[in-house]
Amino acid sequence: MARKKKPLPILENVTITDCAAEGKALARVNDMVVFVPFCVPGDVVDLQVRKKKHSYCEAEVIRFIKKSEVREEPFCQHFGICGGCKWQTLPYEKQLEMKQSQVFQQLTRIGKIELPEFSPILGSVKTREYRNKLEFGCSNKRWMTREEIATGEPAGEMRAIGFHITGAFDKILPIEKCHLMDNLQNEIRNSIRDYAISNGMTFFDLRQQVGLLRDVMVRNSNTGEWMVLVQFHYDVEGDEQRAMGLMQHLADTFPQITSLLYVNNQKCNDTFGDLDISVFKGNDHIFETMEGLKFKVGPKSFYQTNTEQAYHLYSVARKFAQLTGKEVVYDLYTGTGTIANFVAKEAAKVVGIEYVPEAIEDAKVNSEINSIDNTLFYAGDMK
Protein backbone atom coordinates (compact mmCIF):
# COMPACT_ATOMS: atom_id res chain seq x y z
CA MET A 1 0.00 0.00 0.00
CA ALA A 2 1.38 3.40 -1.00
CA ARG A 3 2.51 5.59 1.85
CA LYS A 4 0.41 8.72 2.24
CA LYS A 5 2.24 11.97 1.71
CA LYS A 6 2.39 14.21 4.76
CA PRO A 7 0.40 17.41 4.22
CA LEU A 8 2.59 20.43 3.57
CA PRO A 9 2.72 22.82 6.53
CA ILE A 10 1.31 26.29 7.09
CA LEU A 11 3.88 28.84 8.26
CA GLU A 12 2.47 31.59 10.47
CA ASN A 13 3.58 35.13 11.19
CA VAL A 14 6.45 35.10 8.69
CA THR A 15 8.31 38.34 7.92
CA ILE A 16 9.48 38.86 4.35
CA THR A 17 13.07 40.10 4.48
CA ASP A 18 14.38 40.34 0.93
CA CYS A 19 13.73 39.95 -2.79
CA ALA A 20 14.95 36.98 -4.79
CA ALA A 21 15.26 36.03 -8.45
CA GLU A 22 12.29 35.71 -10.83
CA GLY A 23 10.33 38.39 -8.99
CA LYS A 24 9.94 36.32 -5.82
CA ALA A 25 10.38 37.48 -2.24
CA LEU A 26 12.39 35.71 0.43
CA ALA A 27 11.98 34.82 4.10
CA ARG A 28 13.78 32.52 6.56
CA VAL A 29 12.00 30.15 8.91
CA ASN A 30 14.15 27.98 11.20
CA ASP A 31 17.14 28.12 8.82
CA MET A 32 14.85 27.21 5.92
CA VAL A 33 14.80 29.64 2.98
CA VAL A 34 11.24 30.31 1.82
CA PHE A 35 10.46 31.78 -1.62
CA VAL A 36 7.14 33.60 -1.93
CA PRO A 37 5.59 35.35 -4.97
CA PHE A 38 3.90 38.76 -4.85
CA CYS A 39 5.40 39.92 -1.56
CA VAL A 40 7.78 42.75 -0.67
CA PRO A 41 10.25 43.17 2.22
CA GLY A 42 8.39 44.14 5.37
CA ASP A 43 5.24 42.13 4.67
CA VAL A 44 4.17 39.87 7.56
CA VAL A 45 2.19 36.89 6.28
CA ASP A 46 0.85 33.40 6.86
CA LEU A 47 2.04 30.98 4.21
CA GLN A 48 0.96 27.68 2.74
CA VAL A 49 3.95 25.63 1.64
CA ARG A 50 3.44 24.31 -1.90
CA LYS A 51 6.81 22.66 -2.55
CA LYS A 52 9.40 21.50 -0.03
CA LYS A 53 13.04 20.65 -0.71
CA HIS A 54 15.95 19.90 1.61
CA SER A 55 17.22 23.46 2.00
CA TYR A 56 14.34 25.59 0.78
CA CYS A 57 10.63 25.63 0.10
CA GLU A 58 8.16 27.56 -2.04
CA ALA A 59 4.99 28.96 -0.52
CA GLU A 60 1.95 31.12 -1.24
CA VAL A 61 0.36 33.79 0.92
CA ILE A 62 -2.90 32.75 2.54
CA ARG A 63 -3.21 35.81 4.80
CA PHE A 64 -1.58 39.19 5.17
CA ILE A 65 -1.07 40.03 8.84
CA LYS A 66 0.66 43.31 8.09
CA LYS A 67 1.48 44.93 4.78
CA SER A 68 4.86 46.57 4.30
CA GLU A 69 5.11 50.35 4.41
CA VAL A 70 6.91 50.31 1.06
CA ARG A 71 4.23 48.22 -0.67
CA GLU A 72 2.37 49.81 -3.56
CA GLU A 73 -0.92 48.75 -5.08
CA PRO A 74 -0.41 47.12 -8.50
CA PHE A 75 -1.70 49.28 -11.35
CA CYS A 76 -2.44 46.44 -13.80
CA GLN A 77 -5.69 44.46 -13.72
CA HIS A 78 -3.77 41.34 -14.86
CA PHE A 79 -1.11 41.51 -12.13
CA GLY A 80 -0.48 38.21 -10.39
CA ILE A 81 -1.80 36.06 -13.23
CA CYS A 82 -0.07 37.08 -16.46
CA GLY A 83 3.43 36.39 -15.14
CA GLY A 84 4.98 39.71 -16.15
CA CYS A 85 5.84 42.85 -14.14
CA LYS A 86 6.16 40.79 -10.95
CA TRP A 87 7.43 43.67 -8.81
CA GLN A 88 4.58 46.10 -9.38
CA THR A 89 4.00 46.12 -5.62
CA LEU A 90 7.51 47.52 -5.06
CA PRO A 91 8.38 51.17 -5.89
CA TYR A 92 10.71 51.42 -8.88
CA GLU A 93 13.55 52.96 -6.84
CA LYS A 94 13.40 49.95 -4.48
CA GLN A 95 13.35 47.59 -7.46
CA LEU A 96 16.63 49.10 -8.67
CA GLU A 97 18.17 48.72 -5.21
CA MET A 98 17.12 45.07 -5.06
CA LYS A 99 18.40 44.30 -8.56
CA GLN A 100 21.76 45.90 -7.82
CA SER A 101 22.02 43.95 -4.57
CA GLN A 102 21.26 40.69 -6.40
CA VAL A 103 23.96 41.31 -9.01
CA PHE A 104 26.47 42.16 -6.28
CA GLN A 105 25.58 39.03 -4.27
CA GLN A 106 25.74 36.76 -7.32
CA LEU A 107 29.20 37.98 -8.27
CA THR A 108 30.75 38.19 -4.80
CA ARG A 109 29.07 35.52 -2.68
CA ILE A 110 28.48 32.90 -5.37
CA GLY A 111 31.07 33.87 -7.99
CA LYS A 112 33.76 34.71 -5.39
CA ILE A 113 34.74 37.77 -7.43
CA GLU A 114 36.23 40.76 -5.64
CA LEU A 115 34.55 43.89 -6.96
CA PRO A 116 35.35 47.59 -6.83
CA GLU A 117 32.68 50.04 -5.73
CA PHE A 118 29.54 49.73 -7.85
CA SER A 119 28.18 52.53 -9.99
CA PRO A 120 24.42 52.80 -9.37
CA ILE A 121 21.99 51.30 -11.90
CA LEU A 122 20.78 53.76 -14.50
CA GLY A 123 17.02 53.49 -14.14
CA SER A 124 14.59 53.83 -17.02
CA VAL A 125 13.07 57.27 -17.48
CA LYS A 126 9.74 55.63 -18.35
CA THR A 127 8.39 52.79 -16.23
CA ARG A 128 5.22 52.31 -18.28
CA GLU A 129 4.67 52.20 -22.05
CA TYR A 130 8.43 51.94 -22.60
CA ARG A 131 8.57 48.85 -24.84
CA ASN A 132 8.69 49.00 -28.64
CA LYS A 133 7.59 45.39 -29.19
CA LEU A 134 5.01 42.96 -27.80
CA GLU A 135 3.94 39.52 -28.95
CA PHE A 136 0.57 37.99 -28.17
CA GLY A 137 -0.39 34.34 -28.47
CA CYS A 138 -3.79 33.21 -29.74
CA SER A 139 -5.49 30.11 -28.38
CA ASN A 140 -8.82 28.31 -28.27
CA LYS A 141 -8.07 27.56 -24.60
CA ARG A 142 -8.07 30.65 -22.45
CA TRP A 143 -6.76 30.48 -18.91
CA MET A 144 -9.41 30.15 -16.21
CA THR A 145 -8.65 31.27 -12.66
CA ARG A 146 -9.30 29.09 -9.61
CA GLU A 147 -12.08 31.45 -8.55
CA GLU A 148 -13.72 31.23 -11.98
CA ILE A 149 -13.60 27.43 -11.98
CA ALA A 150 -14.93 27.29 -8.41
CA THR A 151 -18.14 29.09 -9.40
CA GLY A 152 -19.20 26.14 -11.53
CA GLU A 153 -20.59 28.57 -14.11
CA PRO A 154 -20.25 27.82 -17.84
CA ALA A 155 -16.83 28.84 -19.17
CA GLY A 156 -18.23 31.04 -21.93
CA GLU A 157 -15.99 32.23 -24.77
CA MET A 158 -12.72 30.27 -24.70
CA ARG A 159 -10.92 31.95 -27.61
CA ALA A 160 -8.33 34.43 -26.39
CA ILE A 161 -5.44 36.71 -27.39
CA GLY A 162 -2.87 37.55 -24.75
CA PHE A 163 0.09 36.07 -22.91
CA HIS A 164 1.05 32.45 -22.37
CA ILE A 165 0.66 31.18 -18.82
CA THR A 166 3.85 29.98 -17.10
CA GLY A 167 3.73 26.20 -16.78
CA ALA A 168 0.69 25.91 -19.07
CA PHE A 169 1.98 27.10 -22.41
CA ASP A 170 -1.08 25.97 -24.36
CA LYS A 171 -3.26 28.32 -22.28
CA ILE A 172 -3.58 32.05 -22.96
CA LEU A 173 -4.52 34.72 -20.45
CA PRO A 174 -6.85 37.18 -22.25
CA ILE A 175 -5.28 40.64 -22.02
CA GLU A 176 -7.60 43.62 -22.01
CA LYS A 177 -5.02 46.32 -21.26
CA CYS A 178 -1.21 46.02 -21.07
CA HIS A 179 0.81 48.98 -19.78
CA LEU A 180 4.14 47.94 -21.32
CA MET A 181 3.62 49.71 -24.66
CA ASP A 182 1.74 52.67 -26.12
CA ASN A 183 -2.01 52.13 -25.77
CA LEU A 184 -2.52 51.72 -29.52
CA GLN A 185 -1.28 48.13 -29.19
CA ASN A 186 -4.22 47.45 -26.84
CA GLU A 187 -6.63 48.84 -29.42
CA ILE A 188 -5.06 46.76 -32.21
CA ARG A 189 -5.03 43.52 -30.21
CA ASN A 190 -8.59 43.92 -28.93
CA SER A 191 -9.82 44.83 -32.41
CA ILE A 192 -8.25 41.65 -33.84
CA ARG A 193 -9.91 39.60 -31.10
CA ASP A 194 -13.34 41.15 -31.60
CA TYR A 195 -13.21 40.84 -35.38
CA ALA A 196 -11.97 37.24 -35.28
CA ILE A 197 -14.61 36.10 -32.77
CA SER A 198 -17.50 37.92 -34.44
CA ASN A 199 -16.50 36.43 -37.80
CA GLY A 200 -16.21 32.87 -36.49
CA MET A 201 -12.45 32.50 -36.97
CA THR A 202 -10.78 29.55 -35.27
CA PHE A 203 -7.96 30.20 -32.79
CA PHE A 204 -4.86 28.02 -32.65
CA ASP A 205 -4.80 24.83 -30.58
CA LEU A 206 -1.17 24.18 -29.66
CA ARG A 207 -1.69 20.52 -28.83
CA GLN A 208 -3.80 19.63 -31.86
CA GLN A 209 -1.91 21.99 -34.21
CA VAL A 210 -5.09 23.36 -35.77
CA GLY A 211 -6.73 26.78 -35.81
CA LEU A 212 -6.39 29.81 -38.07
CA LEU A 213 -5.36 32.74 -35.83
CA ARG A 214 -2.01 31.92 -34.24
CA ASP A 215 0.06 34.90 -33.06
CA VAL A 216 0.23 38.70 -33.24
CA MET A 217 3.41 40.80 -33.03
CA VAL A 218 3.21 44.58 -32.65
CA ARG A 219 6.18 46.94 -32.95
CA ASN A 220 6.43 50.72 -32.87
CA SER A 221 9.28 53.22 -33.14
CA ASN A 222 10.27 56.67 -31.96
CA THR A 223 9.57 57.91 -35.50
CA GLY A 224 5.86 57.19 -34.97
CA GLU A 225 5.73 54.13 -37.24
CA TRP A 226 3.86 50.93 -36.37
CA MET A 227 4.37 47.36 -37.55
CA VAL A 228 1.88 44.51 -37.10
CA LEU A 229 2.66 40.92 -38.06
CA VAL A 230 -0.17 38.38 -37.85
CA GLN A 231 0.66 34.67 -37.91
CA PHE A 232 -1.97 32.40 -39.43
CA HIS A 233 -2.20 28.62 -39.72
CA TYR A 234 -4.22 27.73 -42.81
CA ASP A 235 -6.16 24.51 -42.11
CA VAL A 236 -9.12 24.32 -44.47
CA GLU A 237 -10.37 25.80 -47.70
CA GLY A 238 -11.39 29.41 -47.20
CA ASP A 239 -8.91 30.10 -44.38
CA GLU A 240 -6.71 32.32 -46.55
CA GLN A 241 -9.75 34.37 -47.58
CA ARG A 242 -10.79 34.71 -43.91
CA ALA A 243 -7.25 35.77 -42.99
CA MET A 244 -7.22 38.45 -45.69
CA GLY A 245 -10.53 39.74 -44.33
CA LEU A 246 -8.87 40.33 -40.96
CA MET A 247 -5.89 42.03 -42.61
CA GLN A 248 -8.20 44.35 -44.55
CA HIS A 249 -10.03 45.15 -41.31
CA LEU A 250 -6.73 46.20 -39.71
CA ALA A 251 -5.75 48.27 -42.75
CA ASP A 252 -9.11 50.08 -42.72
CA THR A 253 -9.26 50.58 -38.94
CA PHE A 254 -5.69 51.60 -38.13
CA PRO A 255 -4.08 54.02 -40.63
CA GLN A 256 -1.25 54.38 -38.08
CA ILE A 257 0.07 50.96 -39.16
CA THR A 258 2.82 51.66 -41.70
CA SER A 259 3.98 48.03 -41.99
CA LEU A 260 1.16 45.47 -42.07
CA LEU A 261 2.48 41.94 -42.50
CA TYR A 262 1.32 38.33 -42.33
CA VAL A 263 2.70 34.81 -42.54
CA ASN A 264 1.25 31.31 -42.87
CA ASN A 265 3.11 29.32 -40.22
CA GLN A 266 2.63 25.55 -40.50
CA LYS A 267 5.43 24.68 -38.06
CA CYS A 268 5.02 23.24 -34.58
CA ASN A 269 6.18 26.48 -32.96
CA ASP A 270 5.57 30.21 -33.41
CA THR A 271 9.07 31.13 -34.63
CA PHE A 272 9.11 32.68 -38.10
CA GLY A 273 12.80 33.40 -38.70
CA ASP A 274 12.95 30.83 -41.50
CA LEU A 275 9.60 31.78 -43.08
CA ASP A 276 8.74 34.22 -45.88
CA ILE A 277 6.85 37.24 -44.59
CA SER A 278 4.20 38.80 -46.86
CA VAL A 279 3.40 42.52 -46.96
CA PHE A 280 -0.32 43.28 -46.96
CA LYS A 281 0.07 47.06 -46.83
CA GLY A 282 2.92 49.56 -46.47
CA ASN A 283 6.59 48.72 -45.98
CA ASP A 284 8.35 45.58 -44.80
CA HIS A 285 10.15 47.60 -42.09
CA ILE A 286 10.00 50.57 -39.76
CA PHE A 287 12.77 53.00 -38.73
CA GLU A 288 14.22 53.89 -35.34
CA THR A 289 16.50 56.87 -34.69
CA MET A 290 19.30 57.28 -32.16
CA GLU A 291 21.81 60.11 -31.77
CA GLY A 292 21.16 61.31 -35.31
CA LEU A 293 21.45 57.79 -36.77
CA LYS A 294 18.61 56.00 -38.55
CA PHE A 295 18.05 52.25 -38.14
CA LYS A 296 15.95 49.98 -40.33
CA VAL A 297 14.07 47.37 -38.29
CA GLY A 298 12.32 44.44 -39.98
CA PRO A 299 9.99 41.83 -38.47
CA LYS A 300 12.91 39.41 -37.88
CA SER A 301 15.34 42.04 -36.61
CA PHE A 302 16.55 42.20 -33.03
CA TYR A 303 16.31 45.67 -31.53
CA GLN A 304 16.51 46.56 -27.84
CA THR A 305 12.90 46.69 -26.65
CA ASN A 306 13.36 49.87 -24.59
CA THR A 307 14.54 52.39 -27.18
CA GLU A 308 15.40 55.21 -24.78
CA GLN A 309 17.21 52.90 -22.36
CA ALA A 310 19.09 51.32 -25.27
CA TYR A 311 20.58 54.73 -26.03
CA HIS A 312 21.85 55.05 -22.44
CA LEU A 313 23.21 51.48 -22.53
CA TYR A 314 25.10 52.06 -25.77
CA SER A 315 26.43 55.41 -24.54
CA VAL A 316 27.83 53.85 -21.38
CA ALA A 317 29.38 50.94 -23.31
CA ARG A 318 31.02 53.36 -25.74
CA LYS A 319 32.33 55.50 -22.90
CA PHE A 320 33.72 52.48 -21.01
CA ALA A 321 35.50 51.27 -24.17
CA GLN A 322 37.62 54.47 -24.22
CA LEU A 323 38.09 54.25 -27.97
CA THR A 324 40.83 56.34 -29.55
CA GLY A 325 39.91 55.81 -33.21
CA LYS A 326 42.59 53.19 -33.84
CA GLU A 327 40.77 50.07 -32.62
CA VAL A 328 38.98 47.24 -34.41
CA VAL A 329 35.73 46.65 -32.50
CA TYR A 330 33.84 43.33 -32.66
CA ASP A 331 30.08 43.60 -32.16
CA LEU A 332 29.00 40.01 -31.53
CA TYR A 333 25.28 39.23 -31.87
CA THR A 334 25.08 42.57 -33.67
CA GLY A 335 21.38 42.28 -34.64
CA THR A 336 20.61 45.16 -36.98
CA GLY A 337 24.02 46.68 -36.28
CA THR A 338 22.84 49.36 -33.88
CA ILE A 339 25.85 49.19 -31.53
CA ALA A 340 28.27 48.71 -34.45
CA ASN A 341 27.03 51.84 -36.20
CA PHE A 342 26.72 53.72 -32.91
CA VAL A 343 30.44 53.31 -32.08
CA ALA A 344 31.77 53.40 -35.65
CA LYS A 345 32.67 57.10 -35.57
CA GLU A 346 35.10 56.46 -32.68
CA ALA A 347 36.79 53.30 -34.07
CA ALA A 348 39.00 52.42 -37.03
CA LYS A 349 36.76 49.52 -38.02
CA VAL A 350 33.78 47.64 -36.58
CA VAL A 351 32.97 44.00 -37.38
CA GLY A 352 29.45 42.77 -36.64
CA ILE A 353 28.42 39.10 -36.55
CA GLU A 354 24.84 37.85 -36.32
CA TYR A 355 23.05 34.53 -36.83
CA VAL A 356 20.01 35.95 -38.69
CA PRO A 357 20.88 36.77 -42.34
CA GLU A 358 17.98 39.26 -42.67
CA ALA A 359 19.29 41.21 -39.67
CA ILE A 360 22.75 41.39 -41.27
CA GLU A 361 21.22 42.79 -44.44
CA ASP A 362 19.47 45.43 -42.31
CA ALA A 363 22.77 46.18 -40.56
CA LYS A 364 24.46 46.81 -43.92
CA VAL A 365 21.58 49.05 -44.99
CA ASN A 366 21.84 50.93 -41.70
CA SER A 367 25.50 51.72 -42.39
CA GLU A 368 24.58 52.79 -45.91
CA ILE A 369 21.77 55.14 -44.97
CA ASN A 370 23.95 56.73 -42.30
CA SER A 371 26.96 57.08 -44.65
CA ILE A 372 29.14 54.88 -42.43
CA ASP A 373 31.91 53.14 -44.39
CA ASN A 374 34.06 51.49 -41.67
CA THR A 375 31.74 48.60 -40.75
CA LEU A 376 31.75 44.98 -41.93
CA PHE A 377 28.87 42.57 -41.23
CA TYR A 378 28.80 38.79 -41.46
CA ALA A 379 25.99 36.25 -41.00
CA GLY A 380 27.14 33.29 -38.92
CA ASP A 381 26.65 31.28 -35.75
CA MET A 382 28.75 32.56 -32.84
CA LYS A 383 29.03 29.02 -31.45
Segment 135-184, tens digit of pLDDT = 999 999 999 888 888 888 888 899 999 999 888 888 999 999 999 999 99
CATH number of the 10-70 domain = 2.40.50.140
CB within 8 Å of 136: residues ≥ 6 apart: 161, 162, 163, 175, 189, 215, 216, 217, 218
Residue 218 pLDDT more than 80?
A: yes
pLDDT of residue 7: 86
pLDDT of residue 119: 86
- The CATH number corresponding to 133-284 among 3.30.70.270, 2.40.50.1070, 2.60.40.10, 3.60.150.10 equals 2.40.50.1070
State the DSSP H helix or E strand holding residue 60, giving kind and residue range, or none if neither: strand 56-66
- How many C-beta atoms lie closer than 10 Å to residue 141's C-beta? 19
pTM, to two decimals: 0.91
DSSP, collapsed to helix, strand or coil, labels residue 92 as: helix
Residue 4 pLDDT more than 80?
A: no
Whole-Å CA distances, 323 to 33, 291, 326, 328: 46, 18, 7, 10
DSSP, collapsed to helix, strand or coil, labels residue 190 as: helix
CB within 8 Å of 200: residues ≥ 6 apart: none
- Every domain range in the chain assigned CATH 2.40.50.140: 10-70
Residue 84 pLDDT more than 90?
A: no
CB within 8 Å of 321: residues ≥ 6 apart: 327, 329, 343, 346
Residue 2 pLDDT more than 60?
A: no
Residue 376: pLDDT band with limits 50, 70, 90: very high
Residue 1 pLDDT more than 80?
A: no
Q: How far apart are CA 204 and CA 233, in angstroms?
A: 8
- Every domain range in the chain assigned CATH 2.40.50.1070: 133-284
Contact call for residues 230 and 246 (beta carbons, < 8 A): yes
Assigned architecture for domain 289-379 = 3-Layer(aba) Sandwich (3.40)
pLDDT of residue 198: 98
- Every domain range in the chain assigned CATH 3.40.50.150: 289-379
Supply the mean pLDDT for the chain.
Answer: 94
